[in-house]
């Protein structure tokens, strides 16, 4: 059900239950948690187009999905138009509802190969990629960009217009340049500006870390959708809270019991998916996010890097929450 005061949202032929989008920051277990909390659309982590075309079996696991998380967007990156088109075709054949072209990733390893945000320096090439991918697939196509390579080259309007002309169904704009990374306040005015100039839906990204921030963002920008990335890490409940706020209620934070239960469930989901060794290693970073703001969290996080066995992690989590409850009873 779409929240009453949230704008209607449609990407091409795909109608979403609401305009809240999870950035491609995690794998299936966390995407499922976000969907359960009301997220309208989730994206996979970035997948190399070259890798997918050359070794579909090895890379294709990143597209692992299940009916409960649908609709699913698969995000690919690359710099070769033909490879990107071929990879997008594979994405469509695998059953994804949306294919997303990442032209905003600031990571050095990605941009050094001419992919991600590096394409902002080559709008013509970016357009060639969009055009080839659009011809290759019939499912909705989205593109994610930043405001520019640096503050002297803010070409988001130019790239946005190219995307629209190439038949892209929606544009996601992160309100920072590649040079800025994540170190400064996101430029929501840039998102408002591109929304005024384009006919296709615009999804905004950057500093959407609370229900109140998302409410202010929609009011200020008029954007069609809100993509939440870092604000959801360790906090899948943010989607539920946003919907509560827009329906006229008060955002309800998770209880201590709900948070503990979700942590245990998330841990088990990752281990079921990745195995104990890799699952525990991956989940340690989630523990760092889940315990932000909790009493005793700093000490807990300082020890987490040493845990390598499932039972050990479970034991430490149980003791951590027991200690919090003891503190609450004695307060």
CA 72 to chain CA centroid, Å, is 11
Q: Which residues contact 48 (CB under 8 A, 6 or more apart)?
A: 59, 76, 77, 78
Omega of the bond leading into 23 within 30 degrees of 0 (cis): no
Is 311 exposed, middle or buried, given 0-12, 13-18 or 19+ CB atoms closer than 10 A? Answer: exposed
Angle at which helices 188-197 and 211-221 cross, to 10°: 40
Task: Confirm whether 184 is a catalytic residue.
Answer: no
The residue annotated as part of the active site, out of 39, 66, 94, 105, is 105
The per-residue b/e assignment along 73-82, b for 16 or more CB within 10 angstroms, e otherwise, is bbbbbbbbbe
Contact in structure between 115 and 190 (CB atoms under 8 Å):
no
Contact in structure between 39 and 59 (CB atoms under 8 Å):
no
Please state the φ and ψ torsions of residue 79, each to the nearest 5 degrees.
Answer: -125, -5
Q: Which residues contact 55 (CB under 8 A, 6 or more apart)?
A: none
Positions marked active-site: 105
């Amino acid at each position: 059900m779409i929240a009453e005061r949230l704008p209607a949202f449609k990407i091409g032929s795909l109608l979403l239950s609401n305009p809240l989008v999870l950035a491609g920051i995690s794998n299936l277990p966390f995407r499922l948690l976000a969907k359960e909390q009301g997220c309208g659309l989730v994206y996979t982590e970035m997948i190399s187009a070259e890798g997918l075309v050359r070794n579909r079996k090895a890379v294709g696991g990143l597209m692992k999905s299940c009916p409960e998380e649908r609709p699913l967007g698969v995000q690919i990156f690359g710099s070769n138009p033909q490879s990107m088109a071929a990879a997008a075709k594979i994405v469509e054949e695998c059953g994804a509802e949306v294919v997303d072209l990442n032209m905003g990733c600031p990571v050095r390893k990605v941009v050094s190969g001419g992919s991600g945000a590096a394409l902002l320096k080559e709008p013509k090439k970016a357009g060639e990629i969009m055009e080839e991918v659009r011809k290759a697939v019939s499912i909705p196509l989205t593109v994610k960009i930043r405001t520019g390579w640096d503050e002297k080259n803010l070409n988001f309007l130019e790239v946005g217009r190219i995307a629209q002309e190439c038949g892209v169904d929606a544009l996601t704009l992160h309100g920072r340049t590649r040079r800025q990374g994540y170190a400064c306040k996101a430029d929501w005015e840039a998102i408002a500006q591109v929304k005024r100039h384009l006919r296709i839906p615009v999804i905004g990204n950057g500093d959407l870390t609370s229900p109140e921030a998302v409410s202010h963002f929609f009011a200020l920008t008029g954007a069609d959708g809100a993509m939440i990335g870092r604000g959801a890490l360790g906090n899948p409940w943010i989607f539920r809270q946003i919907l509560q706020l827009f329906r006229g209620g008060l955002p309800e934070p998770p209880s201590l019991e709900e948070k503990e239960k979700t942590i245990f469930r998330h841990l088990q989901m990752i281990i079921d998916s990745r195995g104990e060794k890799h699952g525990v290693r991956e989940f340690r970073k989630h523990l760092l996010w889940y315990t932000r703001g909790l009493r005793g969290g700093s000490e807990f996080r300082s020890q987490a890097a040493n845990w390598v066995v499932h039972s050990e992690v479970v034991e430490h989590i149980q003791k951590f929450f027991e200690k919090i409850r003891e503190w609450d009873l004695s307060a």
